[in-house]
Amino acid sequence: MDAKAGDMGNLAFLLVDKTREFVEACYERGDLDAALSCLDPVRATCYGYASELHAFDTDAVARLLGASCAFARRIGSRIVSHECHLAYRNETCTVVLSSLRTRATKGDAEGEPSDDEYERRLTFVYAPVGDDWLIVHMHSSAPHAPDDPFASRRMTARDVGAVDLDAVLSQAKVERERYEIVSELSDDVIYEYDVGRDTLYLFSTRFGKSPDIRRNKLVIEHCLDTIGLDGFVHPDDRVRYAADARKLSQAQPERGDGRDDYVHVYRLRPMFFFGRESEQDVFVHQRVMGRRIYDARGRVVKYVGKIVDVSEEYELLEQSSTDALTRAYNRSYLQGRLREYCASKQPDVSYACLLADVDYFKSVNDKFGHLVGDNLLTAFVDTARTLFRTSDIVARLGGDEFMVFMRDVYDPRVAMERSEALIDAFRTMAADRGFPRDVSLSVGVVVESEPHPFSELYRRADIALYRAKAEGKNRAVPYLEGMAYPEGGALAKPLPPLGD
């Protein structure tokens, strides 16, 4: 996901990803090109704890980073821990502080003595460059460096208007260490959100092949402005996430109410500390568990808990809820979602069920074989998913019969328009793939405002589907009051005009 210069709500994801990429490229992989891609090619400068580590033009910066990359490759550098702190930001710049510990996995090839571990403190100043944010200044210091290792760091803070950034890092250090210890005892992410400071702290430990253990810490100030729902929460979960957040911010509950503890599952965009690469438009099921902490006046001051990756659990659930051939949802899943929706829907909103059947599907199987027929069914599902919302459910009921469940339909004409668009798209797809010209789609459409069981919705949609087949196939027909199954090849009673 590209974060543009003005997109402050999603800025945290861009800066976390870019800081992680730079640190890993320069201090672990030794990849100079990747490191330079994170820097402004015109304005970037570097400042170190010794004069030979200063660089004030592009060539000097490249030489300095090149030496760091070469050293990382020579000693087989591996990152042991990384703390990333989004400490200050405005519309024109952002300051990110990093504390880094690396370990050498092989001796220095040149025979120079080398410590087993190296510590660095890094300050990055990012600025918008076109549609991206790039590093325009960085400072590297070591805890035991000569002279004053924090001098240029404080200079950077003054330049951008931040106040005592080193004090921010050391604030409440003892309290934070408790969560770091807990995070090392599990593979989960431990979090603390400080309401007064609007600051989010996240801790995680990732265990690889021994002794490959990485400890990560992320601190995000101005959290509510820095992490926007658009970039953090899956579109289908945002309304529920916002509603849950409002409930959690309410005053202290009565004793014995049991609302202090909370557990929710959302599809969230993973950051690097979840042990996954942050990819565009990727959301992972995460279980958010925690407890609210109150002050003496009953105000919520902190949220403390853990975030558990439950994507594998939900993948297994999805496997049990989907059709093995087409990967559409199965009848059981559809019935469950319909039941849940009807139990909680608002009275002023409708929903729709579109029952679709492939015309002349048997002839496809007879002429081309079942494998080709299976491919046609799979292609139908792919086509339907491109036309409907992610919140709509495409389910296979059996054979060549499918149902699309559309939530929250405010205009009945939308269901007919979507049905007709599906018929056209399916016909085009079938023709492009060389299927017989008469292969098409018939759809029975039901739009309801009142809750109904699945059996009744299916009955009504099936009656409308029969009408579509009787009228020549390759069309959508809405269910209207008074429709019935045909008897002896004819409809049981006259039907009112279908209308628009």
- DSSP code of 322? B
**Which tens digits make up the pLDDT trace of 286-333?**
999 988 888 877 788 889 888 888 888 887 777 788 898 999 999 999
Do 289 and 363 belong together in one domain?
no
Greater pLDDT, 477 or 17: 477
Q: Is 368 left (phi over 0), alpha (psi -120 to 50) or beta?
A: alpha
- Residue 149 pLDDT: 41
390-411: average pLDDT: 93
Percent of the chain with pLDDT over 70: 77
Place 179 in a pLDDT band, splitting at 50, 70 and 90.
very low
Lowest-confidence pick of 194-208, 326-340, 462-476 = 194-208
Q: For residue 124, what are the β-bridge partners?
A: 96, 138
Which long-range CB contacts under 8 A does 466-470 form with residues at least 24 apart? Answer: 467/491, 467/495, 468/442, 468/443, 468/444, 469/357, 469/359, 469/442
- Expressed as residue numbers, the domain containing 72 is 8-170
- Residue 460 pLDDT: 96
- Residue 139 pLDDT: 86
Q: What angle do CA 378, 381, 385 make, to 5 degrees?
A: 145
Do 339 and 300 belong together in one domain?
no
165 pLDDT above the threshold of 60: no
- Residue 320 pLDDT: 82
CATH of residue 23: 3.10.450.50
Average pLDDT, the chain: 79
Give the helix ranges, DSSP H, for 263-369.
311-321, 331-344, 361-368
Instruction: Give the closest residue to 369 by CA, choosing from 435, 304, 273.
Output: 435
Q: Which residue among 359, 366, 400, 411 is the active-site one? A: 400
- Residue 385 pLDDT: 93
Which long-range CB contacts under 8 A does 310-314 form with residues at least 24 apart? Answer: 310/265, 310/285, 310/286, 311/284, 311/285, 311/286, 313/285, 314/285
**Which tens digits make up the pLDDT trace of 335-370?**
999 998 998 888 889 999 999 999 999 999 988 899
Strands 261-268 and 486-487: unpaired
Greater pLDDT, 115 or 146: 115
Looking at the domain assignment, is residue 409 inside a domain?
yes
Do 338 and 485 belong together in one domain?
yes
Instruction: Give the closest residue to 333 by CA, choosing from 346, 319, 322.
Output: 322
Number of domains composing the chain: 3
CATH of residue 441: 3.30.70.270
DSSP sequence for 91-155:
SS-EEEEEEEEEEESS--TT-----SEEEEEEEEEEEEETTEEEEEEEEEE-TT-SS-TTHHHHH
- Residue 281 pLDDT: 62
Domain boundary among 170, 186, 206: 170
- Residue 6 pLDDT: 38
407 pLDDT above the threshold of 70: yes
Do 259 and 340 belong together in one domain?
no
Instruction: Give the closest residue to 426 by CA, choosing from 493, 362, 333, 359.
Output: 359
- Residue 143 pLDDT: 62
- Residue 295 pLDDT: 80
Do 465 and 378 belong together in one domain?
yes
Greater pLDDT, 356 or 74: 356
Instruction: Give the closest residue to 388 by CA, choosing from 328, 441, 436, 439.
Output: 328
Do 147 and 57 belong together in one domain?
yes
Do 69 and 161 belong together in one domain?
yes
Do 383 and 283 belong together in one domain?
no
Tokens of 261: 């503890």
- Residue 255 pLDDT: 55
Looking at the domain assignment, is residue 497 inside a domain?
no
Instruction: Give the closest residue to 443 by CA, choosing from 427, 420, 425.
Output: 420
Domain boundary among 315, 332, 349: 315
Burial of 489 (0-12, 13-18, 19+ CB in 10 A): exposed
Looking at the domain assignment, is residue 464 inside a domain?
yes
Domain boundary among 315, 341, 364: 315
Lowest-confidence pick of 187-196, 346-355, 375-384, 458-467 = 187-196
Looking at the domain assignment, is residue 67 inside a domain?
yes
Looking at the domain assignment, is residue 177 inside a domain?
no
Nearest-angstrom CA–CA distance, 195 and 290: 14
Looking at the domain assignment, is residue 176 inside a domain?
no
**Which tens digits make up the pLDDT trace of 135-163?**
998 888 776 544 444 444 443 443 344 43
Looking at the domain assignment, is residue 85 inside a domain?
yes
Yes or no: say if 465 and 442 are a contact pair by the CB < 8 Å rule. yes
Do 377 and 299 belong together in one domain?
no
CATH of residue 241: 3.30.450.20
Lowest-confidence pick of 6-15, 95-104, 259-268, 389-398 = 6-15
Greater pLDDT, 498 or 346: 346
Q: How far apart, in Å, are the Cα atoms of 215 and each of 51, 205, 278, 495?
A: 31, 4, 17, 70
- Residue 211 pLDDT: 47
Identify the H or E element spanning 29.
Answer: none
| pTM of structure | 0.53
Nearest-angstrom CA–CA distance, 223 and 86: 9
Greater pLDDT, 351 or 200: 351
Do 234 and 99 belong together in one domain?
no
With tokens 């199954």, the residue in question is 485
Establish whether 194 is a catalytic residue.
no
- Residue 369 pLDDT: 92
Question: Strand, coil or helix: what is 409?
Answer: strand
Do 360 and 417 belong together in one domain?
yes
Looking at the domain assignment, is residue 453 inside a domain?
yes
- Residue 469 pLDDT: 94
**Which tens digits make up the pLDDT trace of 246-302?**
888 875 655 544 457 889 999 888 764 444 444 556 888 899 998 888 887 778 888
With tokens 């790039």, the residue in question is 134
Do 283 and 337 belong together in one domain?
no
